[in-house]
Amino acid sequence: MSLKVITANRLREGDVVYLTDSGRWSTHLNESRTGSNESVIEEMLAQAGADVAARRIVAPYAFEVVEVDGILQPLSAREMIRAAGPTVRADYRDTASQESGLKQTSQAA
Amino acid sequence: MPLLKEGKVVEDLWTPLPEDAEPAPQGRIIVTLEQWQAGRERLRGHNGRLGLRLKSDQSPAQIVDDLHYFDLIALEFPRFGDGRAYSYARLLRERYSFTGELRAVGNVLRDQLLFMVRCGFDAFEVANENAAEAWRDAMAEISLWYQPTGRSGPSLGVLRRAALPSAR
Amino acid sequence: MYRYDEFDLAFVQQRVKQFRGQVERRLAGELSEDEFKPLRLMNGLYLQLHAYMLRVAVPYGTLSSHQMRKLASIARDYDRGYGHFTTRQNIQYNWPQLHDVPDILDELSSVEMHAIQTSGNCIRNVTADHFAGAAGDEIEDPRIYAEIIRQWSSLHPEFSFLPRKFKIAITGAPNDRAAVRFHDIGLQIRRNEAGEVGFEVIVGGGLGRTPVIGTTIRKFLPKQHLLSYLEAILRVYNQLGRRDNLFKARIKILVKQTGAEAFKDLVEDEWLHIKDGALTLPSEEIAHIEAYFAPPAFETLEANQPAFEARRFEDQEFARWVRSNVTPHKAPGYACVTISLKPEGGAPGDARAAQMEVVADLAERLSFDEIRVSHEQNLVLPHVRLSDLAEVWETLEADGLGTPNVGLVSDIIACPGLDYCNLANARSIPVAQRLTQRFSDLKRQHEIGDLKIKISGCINACGHHHVGHIGILGVDKKGEEFYQITLGGSADENAAVGKIIGPAFSYDDVVDAVDSIVTTYLELRRDGERFNDTLARLGQAPFKEKLYAAA
Ligand code: SF4
**What's the pLDDT at A96?**
33
Closest-CA distance, B121 to chain C, in angstroms, reads 12
Same domain? For C169 and C285 the reply is yes
Task: Quote the number of domains for chain C.
Answer: 4
- Cα C105 to averaged position of ligand 1 atoms, centre (Å): 25
Residue C118 lies in a domain: no
Determine the atom of ligand 1 nearest the C-alpha atom of C474.
Answer: 3
* H helical segments located in A1-109: 38-53, 77-84
- Residue C379 · residue C338 · CB < 8 Å: yes
DSSP-assigned beta bridge partners for residue A71? A68
Domain that holds residue C467: 413-547
* DSSP per-residue letters across C504-530: -EETTTHHHHHHHHHHHHHHH--TT--
> Mean pLDDT across the stretch B119-143?
84
User: Higher-confidence residue: C265 or C2?
Assistant: C265
In the prediction, which pLDDT does C40 show?
A: 93
Q: Is C141 helix (H, G, I), strand (E, B) or coil?
A: coil
Whole-angstrom distance, CA of residue C362 vs CA of residue C357: 9
Confidence label for B159 from pLDDT (cuts 50, 70 and 90):
low
Cα separation, C35 vs C33, whole angstroms: 5
Looking at the complex, report in whole angstroms how far the Cα of residue B93 sits from the nearest Cα belonging to chain C.
13
The pLDDT assigned to C541 comes to 96
Give pLDDT, residue B26.
80
* Structural domain contains residue C246: yes
Pocket lining: C48 vs ligand 1, CB cutoff 6 Å:
no
Q: Which one-letter amino acid corresponds to residue A1?
A: M
Residue nearest to atom 6 of ligand 1 (CA): C462
CB contact under 8 A, A88 and C50: no
d(CA C382, CA C363): 9
- Is C254 contained in some domain? yes
Q: What is the CATH number of the domain that holds C477?
A: 3.30.413.10
Q: Name residue B123's beta-bridge partners.
A: B5, B103
- Rounded mean pLDDT of chain B? 86
Span from the CA of C370 to the centroid of ligand 1 (angstroms): 30
Of residues A109 and A62, more confidently modeled: A62
**Rounded Cα–Cα distance for residues C341 and C350 (Å):** 6
Q: What is the pLDDT of residues A22-46, one digit of tens each?
A: 999 999 999 999 999 999 999 999 9
Per-domain boundaries in chain A: 3-108
CB count in 10 Å sphere of residue C411: 25
**Shared-domain flag, residues C49 and C138:** no
Reported residue count of chain A is 109
The nearest alpha carbon in chain C to B82 belongs to: C161
Rounded CA separation C489/C499 (Å): 7
**Residue A95, pLDDT above cutoff 60:** no
The answer to whether the beta carbons of residues C71 and C111 sit under 8 Å apart is no
Neighbours of C300 (CB within 10 A): 7
DSSP state of A31: G
User: Is the same domain home to C215 and C167?
Assistant: yes
Do residue B156 and residue C151 have CB atoms under 8 angstroms apart?
yes
CB atoms B141 and C161 under 8 Å: no
For residues A38 and A65, what is the distance between their CA atoms, to the nearest angstrom?
15
Per-residue model confidence as pLDDT tens digits over C94-134:
999 999 999 999 999 999 999 998 998 999 999 999 999 99
For residue C463, which atom of ligand 1 is closest to its CA? Answer: 1
**Same domain flag for C244 and C328:** no
What does the pLDDT look like over B105-127, one tens digit per residue?
999 988 889 999 999 999 999 88
Q: Which residues of C touch A109 (CB under 8 A)?
A: 343-346, 400
Domain end (from C241, C268, C292)? C292
The mean predicted confidence, pLDDT, of chain C is 95
The chains found to touch A (3+ Cβ pairs under 8 angstroms) are: C
Q: Which residue of C has its CA nearest to A59?
A: C33
What's the pLDDT tens digit per position in C153-167?
988 999 999 999 999
Scanning B17-76 for CB atoms below 8 A from C yields: 59
Residue B106's DSSP bridge partners are: B77
The answer to whether residue C404 is domain-embedded is: no
Residue C473 beta carbon below 6 angstroms from any ligand 1 atom: no
Subunit contact C21:B141, Cβ cutoff 8 A? yes
C140 and C279 co-located in one domain: yes
| pLDDT > 70 fraction of chain B, expressed in percent and rounded | 86
C417 lines ligand 1 (CB under 6 A): yes
- Considering the domain architecture, whether residues C459 and C529 belong to the same structural domain is answered as yes
Instruction: Indicate yes or no: CB of B83 within 8 angstroms of CB of C162.
Output: yes
For the segment A67-82, the average pLDDT, to the nearest whole number, is 93
| Sheet strands side by side (includes C370-373) | C62-64, C370-373, C379-385, C334-339, C326-328
What is the H or E stretch that residue A6 is in? strand A3-10
Sign of the torsion formed by the C-alpha atoms of C100, C350, C175 and C367:
positive
pLDDT one-digit tens code per residue, B8-59: 899 999 999 988 766 667 889 999 999 999 989 989 888 899 999 999 999 9
User: Binning pLDDT at 50, 70 and 90, where does residue B98 land?
Assistant: very high
Are C473 and C482 spatial neighbours (Cβ–Cβ below 8 Å)? no
Q: What is the pLDDT of residue C310?
A: 97
The total number of residues shown for chain B amounts to 168
Given a cut of 80, is residue B129 above it in pLDDT? no
pLDDT at B116: 94
Q: What is the per-residue pLDDT across C484-539, written as a single tens digit (0 to 9) for each?
A: 999 999 998 889 999 999 999 999 999 999 999 999 999 999 988 999 999 999 99
Q: CA of C437: which chain A residue's CA is closest?
A: A108
Best of C31, C47, C50, C439 to disrupt the A interface (most A CBs within 10 Å) is C50
- Chain A residues with CB-CB distance to C97 below 8 A: 12-14
Contact B168 C155 (CB under 8 A): no
Q: Is C457 in the pocket of ligand 1 (CB under 6 A)?
A: yes
CA C297, C299, C305, C306 torsion-angle sign: negative
C351 and C469 housed in the same domain: no
* Chain B and chain A touch, per 3+ beta carbon pairs within 8 A: no
Domain-embedded: residue C432:
yes
C280: exposed, middle or buried (Cβ count in 10 Å: 0-12, 13-18, 19+): middle
What's the pLDDT band for C550 if we cut at 50, 70, 90? Answer: low
Q: In CATH, what number is assigned to the domain containing residue C36?
A: 3.90.480.20
Q: Give the pLDDT score at A100.
A: 40
Name the residue in chain B with its Cα closest to that of C272.
B95
Question: How many residues are there in chain C?
Answer: 551
CATH numeric code, B3-142: 3.20.20.70
Considering only the beta carbons, identify the residue of C27, C95, C427 that sits closest to A12: C27
CB C431 within 8 A of CB C455: yes
Q: Specify which residues A67 forms β-bridges with.
A: A72
Q: Are residues C92 and C191 in the same domain?
A: no
pLDDT value at position A21? 95
Chain C: closest CA distance from residue B84 (Å)? 5
User: Is residue C419 one of the residues assigned to a domain?
Assistant: yes
What residues of C are in contact with residue A93 (Cβ under 8 Å)?
Answer: none
**DSSP helix/strand/coil, C469:** coil
The HSE-up count of residue C196 (CA atoms within 13 Å, CB side) is 10
Residues of A within 8 A of C480 (CB-CB) are 77
CA C517–ligand 1 middle distance (angstroms) = 24
Residues 126-165 of C with CB under 8 A from A: none
Cα separation, C420 vs C366, in Å, equals 35
- Residue B86, CB half-sphere, CA atoms under 13 Å: how many? 29
CB within 8 Å of C44: residues ≥ 6 apart: C54, C55, C56, C57, C115, C116, C117, C118, C119
Task: State residue B168's pLDDT score.
Answer: 31
The helix/strand/coil state of C325 is: helix
Provide, as residue numbers in chain C, all residues whose Cβ is less than 8 Å from the Cβ of A95: 50
Q: How far apart are CA B111 and CA B141, in angstroms?
A: 10
B147 pLDDT band (50/70/90 cuts)? confident
Mean pLDDT to the nearest integer, C315-325: 97
Q: Which residue, among C388, C465, C382, C459, has the nearest Cα to C431 in the 3D structure?
A: C465
Give how far Cα C123 sits from Cα of C42, C108, C190, Å: 10, 20, 23
Predicted confidence (pLDDT) per residue in C51-89, tens digit: 999 999 999 999 999 999 999 999 999 999 999 999 999
Going C390 to C393 to C398 to C399, the CA torsion angle's sign is positive
At residue C222, what are phi and psi to the nearest 5 degrees?
Answer: -60, 145
Q: Which of C398, C422, C457 is the last residue of a domain?
A: C398
Cis peptide preceding C102, ω within 30 of 0: no
How far CA B23 is from CA of A104, B36, B40, B51, in Å, comes to: 77, 15, 14, 17
pLDDT classification of A105: cutoffs 50, 70, 90: very low
Q: Would you say residue C122 lies in a domain? A: no
Interface test with A, best of C418, C436, C477, C507 (most A CBs within 10 A): C418
pLDDT tens, position by position, C376-414: 999 999 999 999 999 999 999 999 999 999 999 999 999
Rounded to the nearest angstrom, the distance between the alpha carbon of C136 and the centre of ligand 1 is: 34
Whether C406 is covered by a domain: the verdict is no
pLDDT in tens, C465-479: 999 999 999 999 988
Residues in Cβ contact with C179 at an 8 Å cutoff, skipping those fewer than 6 apart: C169, C186, C375, C464, C467, C491, C492, C495
Domain stops at, among C109, C125, C143: C109
* Residues contacting residue C441 through CB under 8 Å, at least 6 positions apart: none
Q: How far is the CA of C423 from the centre of ligand 1 (A)?
A: 6
